[in-house]
Chain A
Amino acid sequence: MTIWLLRVSLPLILVLLAIPAIGQDDFAGEWAPLFHEDNPERLPGPELGDYMGIPINEAARLRGDSYDADRISVVTEYQCRPHGGDYSLRGLSNMRIDSIFDPVTQNLIAIHTRMNFQEMERTIWLDGRPHPSAMAPHTFQGFSTATWDGNMLNVYTTHLKESYLRRNGLPRSAKATFREHWVRHGNYLTVITAITDPAFLTETMVRSQTWILDPNQRLGRDICEYGPEVPAPRGVVPAHLPGANPFLHEVANWYGLPYEATRGGAETLYPEYQSRMPKADTHPEKCERYCDCGNTGLGCNLTPTKR
């Protein structure tokens, strides 16, 4: 009787285990980023001194103020640097997601992402493995594990190399960790990124990005070659000493913003700041810069602005 039951039930169990999951939790596929928020910051790049919307501390502000955009052109080590794992979903890149299944159990054990910018590859483990010891190497993408909560995938990432919160020199330290929350709604994928950085943030920074499924997308290669673009003596790292950066007021002047507001900080993120915010000296009558970025998909039509 027992053998007969096994003969009947075993194939049925195997069939049941082979049935794929049905629902909205499958992220596998080709995804295109939607730049309907912060388009110029994410595509052509942020203005120098624009720290708006980021809960930075004074140390981060000092690092940002010291940044010189020539640094990337002069210091070749910076040229092929990929985004950090916390920034890569926000930057300029399309993405392919593969689901990795255990060949025997067919359990989902990992999600693998590939971004075409700098060919960034990342694995998010779902097999319950622990994070490595604190002494393990840190990488740009970090070490990620995840668990499901209903239709939401909750990801936790540690072991990051130093990177940036914004591509204008605002740093994110190697002590940072971040959590992500992935949720799919039909053909849209929303990823919420919450970064905790004891070195440069005064509170957890929460941002979100949305992607659209693009089954016809195919990622090509993105081979980065480095070389000196601006002549400079060996060993020079372009930078500004404290209080000596002449470009920090540009963003406020160009967009008619109060300078204080451009300096960021947690206190500027909440509605009450609207009534506390100082007034700018001028407010442009009409937009003059980056007015239609993302408007037609044809670029940003940046008109040179007088310095």
Chain B
Amino acid sequence: MMRWKSSLLAAAFAMSGTSAAMFAQSPPGTGLTAKAAAPIDLTGYWVSVVTEDWRYRMLTAPKGDYYSIPLTPEARKVADTWDAARDVAQGKQCMAYGAPAIMRQPSRVQVAWDSENALKVEIDAGKQIRIFAFGAPRQSAGEPTMQGSSIAQWQSPQITRFYTSKISAQDPDTPGFRGQTPAGSAPPDTRKLGGTLKVVTTHLKPGYLRNNGVPYSANAVLTEYYDIHQDAGQEYMVITSIVEDPQYLYVPWVVSNQFRREPDGSKWKLHDCELILSSK
């Protein structure tokens, strides 16, 4: 069973793949762990910068408000039955804190290496923890969970070129190329060369894409791309998030979430899941 689940996750990863070469624990031939090979440094504290979908993220929208999300008729029926008081009574305040929605919650996030080949992402809002395992998912068997099973890979254009074309890998004019890899040598050292973290999450418990009961199913697959950039002396992390769920979504739901790096964890504050309503 476990092997079957792992295969399913690997297949999901492959199907959602891109043209970029990806590597799990390390680029072949380097002997590096995922931590040592990291082309970008995501570790540290980050805070959500809520400049989009503000009223859906900072507050709980009324029932039936599901704009911007390409829902199927079945999903609309489910969303129309949402009842905030019932969720609270049944202890379901965390339904919008599962992996497909948690990074949209206004929050502070702590990213750290849990091992040489796994990143731990801890979110203060709702006290949630995600594990991004390079190579094989940590939890691919047993009951589905809110955060599901995540498999991670680094993506780097230098590695793409090294493994796809020896000729283009030598071309110093290739955009983004900084590897300076002579022919026949070891793969380029990708550390801090720039790149992306790709994470695919499956094996999810059903939950909400939005606080007001917009559903995703147990078959949902979440693909995320983590990128970092600098602006005005600040470092930002942007997560492009793609939720595929044929049961409830006509087409994949794609959003991107901004986080700004914080100097320390002084503002990081664990708190329970909550439904924040706008009225008294």
- Contact present for B18 and A186 (CB under 8 Å): yes
Chain B CB within 10 A, most for which of A39, A150, A290: A150
Whether B54 and A53, one on each chain, are in contact in the complex, defined by CB atoms closer than 8 angstroms, is: yes
Q: A21-B171, A269-B50 are in contact. Are A36 and B106 (CB under 8 A)?
A: no
Cα of A52 to Cα of B58 in the assembled complex, Å? 10
Contact B55 A39 (CB under 8 A): no
Query: In angstroms, how far is the closest chain A Cβ from the Cβ of B37?
Result: 14
Collect the chain A residues with CB atoms within 8 Å of residue B48's CB.
270-271
Task: Tell yes or no: B234 within 8 A of A by CB.
Answer: yes
Q: How far is B236's CA from A285's CA once the two chains are assembled, in angstroms?
A: 37
Q: Known interface pairs A17-B171, A25-B175, A188-B242. Does A295 touch B62 (Cβ–Cβ under 8 Å)?
A: no
Complex Cα distance, B198 from A151, in Å, reads 13
B68 near A37: Cβ-Cβ < 8 Å: yes
A residues 183-212 in Cβ contact with B at 8 Å: 183, 185-188, 190, 192, 194, 196, 204-210, 212
Q: What count of chain B residues pass the 8 Å CB interface test? A: 80
Residue B66 at the chain A interface, CB threshold 8 Å: yes
Given A210-B254, A285-B63: A149 and B194 interface contact (C-beta under 8 Å): yes
User: B49 touching A286 by the CB < 8 A rule?
Assistant: no
Q: What is the bound-complex CA distance between A261 and B57, given in angstroms?
A: 13
Q: Does B273 contact A (CB under 8 A)?
A: no
B238–A293 CB distance below 8 A = no
- Evaluate whether A291 and B64 lie within 8 angstroms (CB atoms) in the complex, with A52-B54, A206-B49, A270-B106 already known: yes
Cross-chain contact A282 with B52 (CB below 8 angstroms): no
Query: B266 on the interface (CB 8 Å rule)?
Result: no
Task: Report how far A25 CA is from B18 CA in the complex, Å.
Answer: 12
A257 and B278 contacting across the interface, CB-CB below 8 Å? yes
Does A230 make an interface contact (CB < 8 A)?
A: no
Task: Verify if A95 is at the interface (C-beta below 8 Å from B).
Answer: no
Establish whether residues A185 and B168, one from each chain, have CB atoms under 8 Å apart when the complex forms.
no
Which residues of A, 1-50, contact B by the 8 Å Cβ criterion? 16-17, 19-25, 34-40
Chain A residues within 8 Å of B, Cβ to Cβ: 16-17, 19-25, 34-40, 52-55, 105-108, 126, 148-154, 179, 181, 183, 185-188, 190, 192, 194, 196, 204-210, 212, 255-258, 261, 268-274, 277, 279-288, 290-297, 300
